Amino acid sequence: MVTTIKNTEADSAARLFQAKRFALWIGIAGMMMVFTSLTSAYIVRKAAGNWLEFKLPDIFFYNALLAIASSVVLQASYAAFKREKFVLYKVLLALTLLMGVAFLLGQYSGWMQLVDMGIFLQGNPSGSFVFVLSGLHALHLLVGLTSLSVALFQALSLPDRLTERRKFRFELTLTFWHFLTFLWVYLMALWMYLA
């Protein structure tokens, strides 16, 4: 009887994990559709003319390198967690959070450089697209930073233990963070290709 109850609880937890993972992937697919639609609109609008050509601030490209590095560091944190190297896991998790904040500050710096160049959200559509696409990414980044903050809080406040639930939550955070990195690299490649 006790074994049956434990199996039922394990099955229930597994189904819940699968449902949450599925929900995350549905959300990612939805976000990709939004960015794909905006990319399509960007290409069509650029071909229509009345398009102001300008060079993106270098900080946007440095941010791409920072995003890739943060994904590598977070992946290393996850690996340390699975190996139960809890000090390294916490240090790398905190470092990823700091890199994410640095990325966001870099975004702000890039926007200010655009403004200094006379490129605004309202005005020529070329500037509007850059602000909208990078701003939408920044909103998603705030979600990622919130997720990392919760993960770090739990890492620092909960006992050092590897559990399936904590591992699963970390995997969701890791998946979303890698998606944000992919998205920014995609936007940089788009802007370089269409420049």
Rounded percentage of the chain residues whose pLDDT exceeds 90: 81
Q: Residue 175: is its pLDDT beyond 90? A: yes
Q: What local confidence, expressed as pLDDT, does residue 43 receive?
A: 92
Among 61, 66, 92, 76, smallest CA distance to 155 is for 92
- As for how many domains the chain has, the answer is 1
Confidence of residue 4 (pLDDT cuts 50, 70, 90): low
* Percentages of the chain per state (helix, strand, coil), in multiples of 5: 85, 0, 15
Q: What local confidence, expressed as pLDDT, does residue 82 receive?
A: 97
* CATH assignment at residue 46: 1.20.120.80
> In which residue are the tokens 């009345």 written?
50
Q: What local confidence, expressed as pLDDT, does residue 97 receive?
A: 98
- Beta-carbon-side half-sphere exposure of residue 13 (alpha carbons within 13 Å): 12
Alpha helices in 48-124 (DSSP H): 58-82, 86-116
Burial class (CB in 10 A: 0-12, 13-18, 19+), 42: buried
40: containing domain: 2-194
3-state secondary structure at position 57 = coil
Confidence of residue 84 (pLDDT cuts 50, 70, 90): very high
- Least confident among 120-124, 135-139, 159-163, 169-173: 120-124
Task: Determine the Cα–Cα distance for residues 78 and 152; give it in Å rounded to an integer.
Answer: 12
